Amino acid sequence: MKFPASNDIVRREAYYGGSFDPVHKGHLAIATTLLQQFELDEFVFIPAFHAPHKLRLLPTSAYDRYAMLCLMTEQEPRLRVSKMEIEMPERPFSVETLTRLNLERPKSEIFFVMGADSWMDIKTWREWETVLTISNHIVVTRPGYEIGFSHVTDAVRDRIVDLRRPGAGSSERSAQERAIYITDSINIDVSATEIRTKIRSGDLTWRDDVTDEVANYIEKYQIYR
């Protein structure tokens, strides 16, 4: 699939924010698949210091989560991990992160990646309509999870490109128009919550859901015990 690009655009970059507590093979599958599907130059994970919408939950140390991401991505040069949120003195919202990326990467076409559950909860995000207009978005569906579009405005729905439909793609947008892409190309369903639960219960099958490097790190430093 070919995507149009402005003559001023020199790089295509995707940014994927989240807790990654822990990062697992599902996250890796999203990154490697989208690199190819969207012809990206780079895919960047942005671990949150503490997700603003999960304030009542205490996450694992941001630096442990950052280290695990680095271990998982070190063999793939187009995968990168950013410290831009964990080094912020306050908890940034997505609208602030995307605004900063646009300022710092003026020659890049930015794609912001989110899961199906985030898409369905998008109206709870701070300045959600602004979030959906200041970059391209890629919504990654997961097996057995139905998503809808009635919760967003007509203006937002007009920019949706549903790649699950045959023939959807570049003909539905211009080079300058920011779009919201819906893709089901990643058919893997792994839960970080389930991984943590398995570790605490002594179920060793959790190792199947993460890379060896991440598993060794979790065991060495007794994370989630």
Residue 171's pLDDT is what?
A: 47
- Residue 54, pLDDT > 70, answer no
The whole-number average pLDDT for the span 188-203 is 95
Q: Which domains does the chain have, with CATH numbers?
A: 11-189 (3.40.50.620)
Token pair of 112 as six digits: 């912001």
**Which of 8-22, 110-124, 141-155, 170-184 is predicted least confidently?**
170-184
pLDDT tens, residue by residue, 55-66: 445 669 999 999
- Going across the sheet that includes 79-81, the strands are 79-81, 42-47, 11-18, 108-115, 136-140, 180-183, 160-162
Res 57: pLDDT: 54
Is the alpha carbon torsion for 116, 117, 123, 125 positive or negative?
negative
Query: What is the pTM for the complete model shown?
Result: 0.90
> Per-residue pLDDT for 120 more than 60?
yes
Residue 91, C-beta contacts closer than 8 angstroms, at least 6 positions apart? 48, 49, 50, 51, 52, 85
Instruction: Give the C-alpha separation, 63 to 94, whole Å.
Output: 20
Position 56 scores a pLDDT of: 46
Place of tokens 């391209």: 136
Q: Greater confidence, 127 or 59? A: 127
Mean pLDDT of 14-43: 97
pLDDT of residue 4: 56
Q: Which two tokens stand for residue 207?
A: 């190792």
